Structure 1
Amino acid sequence: MHRTHGQRQKKEHWEQFERYLEDPENTPPPEGYTAPFYKADREKEMREAHAVFKARLDAAIARGEWDPETHSVPGT
């Protein structure tokens, strides 16, 4: 299947990574990769990003730099 082992990632790297996960004490990670590795939690990351952008938008509205009614910069 196309790109099952990752974008611009060699198949051998993925195979070595799988071996590393099975026995990290005796198998090095693929060349160019550094532990520790973690599984991404995209939903959590997107919620955190949304909170940051929402706070920035709310601050811009409070300073009068954005009009939420017209969805534009006031005075332009």
Structure 2
Amino acid sequence: MKEEKIIDKDNIIGKNIKRIRISKGIGQTELVEQLQLKDINITRESLVKIEGGRQHIKLTQLKGIKELLDVSYDEFLS
């Protein structure tokens, strides 16, 4: 079964992931390593592309990032 991707044409989610991650003092490599420990398929290259608006984020990736950054989904959309 193909995993659903979230289409974010204006890159609001990617920009907010980066903003929140930086505000919490978490590097890209650290975030990716923590996601991989939770069996979430993501690479640092993918995270860079997601934050830069060059790749759509998968639903499981967004859920994992939400949990690790301890934020609500609303914070990714505002």
TM-score w.r.t. the length of structure 1 is 0.26
More helix by share: 2
TM-score w.r.t. the length of structure 2 is 0.26
Structure of higher RCO (CA pairs closer than 8 Å, 6+ residues apart): 2
More strand by share: 2
**Which structure has the larger Rg over C-alpha atoms?**
1
